[in-house]
Every structure is written in C-alpha cells, then in structure tokens.
C-alpha cells in the first residue's frame, strides 16, 4: 500500500505536460492480451490481469481521446480544481451526512458491502505498472481517472460485481471510452459465462444492452462526479442519461432457475444484492 501514498507533493495538473518525454505509448499486442486473459480466467479476482490486457490493446487511441477531452470545459474545470479523487472517495466520513438515497451513500454502501476501496484499486493497478512507468503528465491523470471512477460506474449503472455485471459494465465502459482491451475482456468474459452456464441469448442481450446504455449516457468519467455525490442517485442518473439495465436483471433471474454447474457464473447472494 505504501506505493499508493504520495511521498512528495505531486505536480499541479496545470503544470503537467500533455505527454512526458520519457513515456512510450506502445502499440497493439493481441498475443500478450490473450495470455493475460488466460490468467484472468484462472483467477477472476486477479485484477492486475485486467490492467495488463487493457495496456496491451490500448495503442494510441486513448491518447487521442485524452487530447479531445482536455479541450472541453469539463476537463478544464477538473484540472483547475485538481482534487484527489481517490482520497475523496475513500473519505466516507466526508459524505456521512448525505441523504440515504444520495449517490454518496449508495457508493459507500456498495464499497463497504464489497469490501472495496478506491485506494485498493490503485494498488492493484500498480502491481502491473511500477512507479518507473508512471509519469506526471496529463495522459497519466486521464488514465487514472478512468480507473478511479470504475466503482462509481457500478453504482450509477446498477451493474453488480458478479461476472455478468462486470461484463455488462465493460460493455458500457467501452462505448464511453472505446478501449479495445475493455471490449475484448467483455466479449471473452461473456463467452466464458455462456460456456459455464449453458445460457447464450440472454447473456448476449445483457451485454448488448450494456453497450447501448453506454452509448446513450453522457461520458461519466468526464463529469464532475464528486460534486454530484450529495445528490439523489435517481436525479444523477437522469441528469447523465443512465438507463436501467433490464436485460441484465432478467438474465440474473434466469440464472436463479438454472441448476448449478461448474464455474462461478452464478452470482453469490452478496453480489446480487
């Protein structure tokens, strides 16, 4: 966890270069992605493999997306405020007085139920990306923002941390940010769920719905989500045009009627909560 802590003052976002001169933006590496996906199938809790896959398939598209985002008023506002998203999200006491149906309280309930923290996800990402490969540039800030808002995506979309929920959220996220690695994991994950559950059509429909909802919604990671935490979650979803994951919920109901089979495709009672 020490690696996640800021040992010295970070450079202001407004002072950071677009891309650090020592950064190498790698090309498309599908063979490496397949190798890491095999490891992820063996241990679905090994989150570091997700970061390996996304990195292997990232190419230069994320750089172009970041440049486009930085030209928006939303990005300029976030950069000027320069607030630490991770520490703000993990400071649950800061949001303790928010209303029961606020985004903040729903987020806290989700994180505490799942035993998660924003800092924990940072630590997982640093397992595959040592400090020598992390640079104080705006590209790093953008990639970190996509990472640090992942669990807020869960709460806003209604997708659980069960295998299907993660697959659907990846489909949603792909349409938001167009990362080839994200959609690769989504389709390979859906393929694995179909294989283990014996259910094909409803799984495919749930993933397709996730992609559609992602296209229709505003880009969540580009929003000032911290300022929305005290607001009613229903109002935030309406404001950001986040639709209901009905096909996903329907598929979960079908899962409950199926006999147990090998694999962990069926959500636990905690994941389905």
Q: Read off the pLDDT of residues 140-184 as tens digits, 9 standing for 90 and up.
A: 899 899 999 999 999 999 999 999 999 999 999 999 988 888 888
% of residues, the chain, pLDDT over 90 = 59
For residue 267, tell me if it sits in a domain: no
For residue 229, tell me if it sits in a domain: yes
- Give residue 198's domain range: 18-257
For residue 102, tell me if it sits in a domain: yes
Tokens, residue 249: 């919920």
Would the pLDDT of 56 be above 70?
A: no
Domain count, the chain: 1
Q: Find the range with the poorest average confidence among 4-13, 30-39, 83-92, 188-197.
A: 4-13
Residue bearing the bigger pLDDT, 111 or 32: 111
For residue 206, tell me if it sits in a domain: yes
């Amino acid at each position: 966890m020490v690696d996640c802590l800021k040992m010295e003052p970070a450079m202001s976002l407004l002072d950071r270069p677009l891309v650090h001169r020592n950064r190498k933006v790698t090309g498309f590496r599908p063979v490496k992605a397949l190798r890491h996906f095999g490891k992820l199938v063996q241990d679905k809790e090994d989150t570091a493999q997700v970061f390996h896959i996304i990195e292997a398939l990232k190419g230069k598209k994320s750089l172009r997306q970041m440049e486009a985002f930085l030209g928006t008023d939303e990005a300029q506002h976030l950069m000027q405020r320069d607030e630490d998203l991770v520490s703000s999200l993990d400071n649950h006491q800061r949001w303790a007085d928010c209303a029961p149906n606020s985004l903040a309280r729903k987020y806290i309930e989700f994180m505490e139920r799942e035993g998660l923290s924003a800092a924990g996800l940072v630590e997982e990402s640093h397992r595959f990306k040592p400090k020598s490969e992390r640079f104080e540039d705006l590209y790093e800030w953008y990639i970190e923002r996509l990472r640090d808002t992942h669990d807020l995506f869960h709460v806003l979309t209604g997708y659980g941390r069960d295998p299907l929920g993660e697959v659907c959220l990846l489909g949603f996220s792909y349409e938001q940010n167009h990362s080839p690695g994200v959609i690769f994991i989504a389709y390979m994950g859906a393929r694995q769920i179909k294989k283990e559950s014996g259910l094909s059509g409803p799984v495919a429909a749930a993933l397709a719905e996730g992609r559609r909802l992602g296209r229709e919604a505003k880009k969540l990671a580009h929003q000032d989500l911290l300022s929305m935490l005290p607001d009613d979650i229903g109002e935030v979803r309406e404001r950001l045009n986040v639709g209901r994951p009905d096909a996903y919920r329907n598929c979960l109901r079908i899962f409950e009627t199926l006999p147990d089979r090998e694999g962990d495709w069926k959500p636990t009672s905690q994941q389905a909560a």
